[in-house]
Amino acid sequence: MSRLSNPKQKIIVILGPTASGKSDLCVKIALRLGSGQTSKKSARSGSALDWNGAEIISADSRQIYKGMDIGTGKITQKEMGDIPHHLLDVVNPKTKFDIVKYKKLAYRAIEDILYHKKIPIICGGTGFYIQAIVDNIIFPEVKSNNKLRKKLEKQPIEKLLQMLKKLDNERLKTVDQKNKRRVIRAVEIATILGKVPKLESNPKYDSLQIGIAINREKLKKNIKKRLEKRLKQGLITEVKKLHQQGVSWRKLIEFGLEYKFVTLYLRGKITKKQMTNQLEKSIWQYAKRQITWFKRDKRIKWVADQKEGEKLIKIFLKI
RNA sequence: GCGGAGAUGGCGGAGUGGUCAAUCGCAACAGACUGUAAAUCUGUCGCCCUUCGGGCUUCGCAGGUUCAAAUCCUGCUCUCCGCA
């Protein structure tokens, strides 16, 4: 039983493509996980668990920003139903944010939640962020260097590949040689560290990843409906406001989807109708990209509804 | 009715005698993913065969010229613009 003497703490992840109903499901499940206790049987086996409920940590690269509410479909105070939510509205959209910062914040939140004997539920659709938490990916300690990046960006990709070859031929073989952004980052790391270290990961928590399985037609419908709703809620005004607050058009475009296409509309590059059409398509394409990402992780357990999810959670928590 | 322009793959749009199954963009589908991840990037994309490769049928319709046509000629159908 020594194997169990120091078990990893448990976290639950609920993920899925955009418009699959994550936020909603997360709250429902969190509510179901009100305080409780493991059964005597499992308590005796050494995996006793008392808990005071659950809290949610968002794993959404855009909901992290303040003021980006309608476009990201951020959950409202009311919808939260007394379940504390973390990592929403924590950074100003004008500032830079990245996965390393996210990971730090997320780990801090997890520790805090566990400390209070609650169960952390990671809820979101940003696959890379989720993976960073679940696998505890150790990123090389090389901050982004704007000056260097600007300089490198001017170079043709061939030149960058040559540089990388000299610095780290191993990484050259594995990077996507057609993706300039990736090659630049590789050069950036190799310039500081001499080479790009292999990515390490050693999971810190015992996690159960639940994916929301949803059929394509349904998902498409959801996307369409949700977009109409957002427009009615004042999506365009939100984007306007963000720009007035100093978020550059460039940045808004980089945020993608609603922020990108509404910006293009506000700047007169496309008509309102084009905005809606292109947006709908782009959101769908995004959803597919998410699905592609998640497909790869065989540990994810796909569920059709809340019930199935709860079943898995019960087994996972031994309750 | 006359004059002019044009009809190309799911769409837009190149190509104006041979290297064209046909540049390119979009959509679609598949995929990648080491500090921007809603971002960034890649592949496939007429049909058939097992990949290399090969075979077959395509550029409004029907004929014709030519060794060879999406590209030239004739007729037809349709669309758009100008004049009536």
Q: Which nucleotides of B are covered by protein (CB under 7 A)?
A: 27-42
Tell me the CA–C1' distance in angstroms for A294 and B45.
Answer: 25
Domain shared by A68 and A172, yes or no: no
Q: What is the pLDDT of residue A2?
A: 44
Domain shared by A50 and A113, yes or no: yes
Write the pLDDT tens digit of every residue in A74-109: 999 999 999 999 999 999 999 999 999 999 999 999
Tell me the CA–C1' distance in angstroms for A219 and B54.
Answer: 42
Tell me the CA–C1' distance in angstroms for A96 and B40.
Answer: 16
Domain shared by A106 and A228, yes or no: no
Q: What is the CATH number of the domain that holds A275?
A: 1.10.287.890
Give the residue among A149, A93, A103 at the shortest CA–CA distance from A263: A93
pTM of the prediction?
0.91
Tell me the CA–C1' distance in angstroms for A224 and B14.
Answer: 34
Tell me the CA–C1' distance in angstroms for A31 and B31.
Answer: 38
Domain shared by A13 and A79, yes or no: yes
Domain shared by A188 and A250, yes or no: no
Domain shared by A108 and A20, yes or no: yes
Domain containing A235 equals 217-289
Q: What is the CATH number of the domain that holds A17?
A: 3.40.50.300
Q: Which of the nucleotides lies closest to A125 (Cα–C1')?
A: B38
Domain shared by A64 and A176, yes or no: no
Write the pLDDT tens digit of every residue in A147-186: 999 999 999 999 999 999 999 999 999 999 999 999 999 9
- Asked whether residue A7 carries a pLDDT value surpassing 90, the answer given is no
Q: Which of the nucleotides lies closest to A200 (Cα–C1')?
A: B34
> What value of ipTM does the predicted structure carry?
0.90
Give the residue among A188, A103, A94 at the shortest CA–CA distance from A149: A188
> Closest residue by Cα to the C1' atom of nucleotide B36?
A98
Domain shared by A250 and A169, yes or no: no
Number of domains in chain A: 3
Angstrom distance (rounded) from CA A306 to CA A131: 23
Domain shared by A108 and A152, yes or no: no
Tell me the CA–C1' distance in angstroms for A8 and B43.
Answer: 41
pLDDT band at A280 (very low <50, low <70, confident <90, very high): very high
Q: What is the pLDDT of residue A45?
A: 47
A12 forms beta bridges with A121, A208
Domain shared by A209 and A76, yes or no: yes
Q: Which of the nucleotides lies closest to A124 (Cα–C1')?
A: B38
Domain shared by A37 and A93, yes or no: yes
